[in-house]
């Protein structure tokens, strides 16, 4: 395996510590910056867009008015001093996010930056930084720990406002090693299922659709198989009509129930798909879908990693010039 793939694996593995470290580092005094506002707008690009989607679910679950936008969409959304914009950028260098934060400030909105790099360019766009502890020293590999630590940071902020989240948050600080062991096992199962040539549908809804979005991005980054994040009900309505025998699917949910079993039966027995159900292990003791999303994300990160190790173990870097086709940093 190459140094590049070794580095990608390490930023997945480090989550056994970084998630707990980030949760324990959150400054609860930051809560007042969002509760006084009528609107919360979360923005981000790539993995950080998935984090902003997660933030929408987190803050919405406790009754706050939150939406997520891709950075260029901010020009279509009215905002003023009653709006707080949370810009998510792990490295602090995403040009679209920086531009969106500037536009938000020009409209009178308050801004917060959720980042892993307090010295990044994004820190110039706000006086309020929420800093994660991902334990990575480079943002030039496939993001893993910076993504989940940003997610749990948002969860920790919300838990200060809603006590029902605090039990799950405490659990996440205790189960790091168990999550990585479980995710590695699931990742190897996924890698045995997935093969080049057919699309891979990652099907979910609610907070766990964030896991599907991140899984899609991880598989697409490595270019072994094309990933698609599909909403569970949308897949029923139209996406299934284009399915061929032996196309691939991952059903993602917080826990397994009878609806999941029926859904899997349709995927495998009716559509003749190769399918696997990812659902959070009960041993983790996580009660909410918000918390269950975290280990599911890690399982998909592992799945994409073991898939590229299986089919392209000599991979030295992302595809060039594809990675430089758009100026994003």
Q: Which CATH class is domain 3-174?
A: alpha beta
Range 266-305 burial, b when 16+ CB lie within 10 A, else e:
ebeeebebbbbbbbbbeebebebbbbbbbbbbbbbbbbbb
**Confidence (pLDDT) at 35:** 85
**pLDDT for the residue numbered 292:** 98
- The closest alpha carbon to 114, from 161, 73, 150, belongs to 150
pLDDT at 324: 87
Domains 3-174 and 176-311 share a fold: yes
Q: Which residues contact 216 (CB under 8 A, 6 or more apart)?
A: 202, 227, 228, 229
Rounded Cα distance between 281 and 108, Å, is 45
Q: Which strands sit side by side in the sheet containing 248-253, from one edge to the other? A: 227-231, 200-204, 248-253, 274-279
Give every residue of the chain whose pLDDT is below 70, as ranges: none
pLDDT digits (tens, 9 = 90+) for 103-146: 999 999 999 999 999 999 998 888 799 999 999 988 888 889 99
User: How far is residue 304's CA from residue 161's CA, in Å, rounded to a whole number?
Assistant: 35
Predicted structure pTM score: 0.96
pLDDT of residue 71: 97
**How many CA atoms are closer than 13 Å to the CA of 239, on its beta-carbon side?**
19
Q: What is the CATH number of domain 176-311?
A: 3.40.50.10490
- Residue pair 250/232 in contact by the 8 Å Cβ criterion: no
Listed by start position, the domains of the chain span 3-174, 176-311
Give the pLDDT of residue 115. Answer: 96
At 279 the pLDDT is 97
Per-residue pLDDT at 137 = 86
């Amino acid at each position: 395996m190459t140094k590049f793939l070794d580095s990608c694996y390490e930023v997945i593995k480090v989550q056994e510590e970084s998630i707990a470290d980030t949760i324990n580092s959150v400054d609860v005094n930051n809560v007042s910056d969002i509760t006084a506002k009528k609107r919360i707008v979360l923005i981000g690009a790539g993995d950080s867009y998935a984090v902003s989607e997660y933030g929408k679910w987190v803050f919405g679950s406790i009754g706050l008015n939150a939406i997520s936008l891709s950075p260029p969409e901010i020009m279509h959304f009215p905002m003023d001093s009653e709006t707080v914009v949370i810009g998510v950028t792990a490295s602090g260098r995403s040009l679209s996010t920086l531009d969106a934060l500037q536009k938000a400030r020009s409209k009178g909105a308050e801004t917060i930056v959720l980042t892993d790099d307090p010295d990044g360019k994004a820190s110039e766009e706000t006086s309020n930084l929420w800093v994660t502890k991902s334990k990575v020293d480079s943002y030039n590999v496939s993001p893993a720990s910076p993504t989940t630590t940003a997610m749990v940071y948002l969860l920790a902020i919300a838990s200060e406002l809603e006590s029902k989240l605090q039990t799950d948050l405490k659990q996440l600080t205790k189960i790091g090693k168990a999550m990585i062991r479980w995710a590695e096992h699931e990742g190897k199962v996924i890698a045995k299922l997935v093969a080049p040539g057919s699309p891979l549908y990652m099907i979910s809804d609610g907070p766990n659709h964030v896991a599907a979005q991140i899984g899609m991005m991880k598989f697409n980054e490595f270019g072994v198989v094309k990933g698609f994040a599909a909403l569970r009900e949308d897949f029923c309505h139209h996406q299934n009509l284009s399915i061929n025998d032996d196309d691939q699917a991952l059903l993602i949910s917080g826990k397994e129930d009878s609806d999941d079993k029926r859904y899997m039966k349709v995927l495998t027995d009716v559509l003749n798909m190769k399918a696997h159900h990812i659902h959070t292990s009960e041993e983790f003791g996580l009660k909410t879908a918000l918390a269950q999303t975290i280990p599911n994300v890690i399982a998909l990160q592992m799945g994409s990693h073991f898939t590229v190790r299986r089919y392209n173990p000599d991979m030295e870097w992302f595809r060039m010039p594809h990675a430089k086709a758009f100026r994003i940093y």
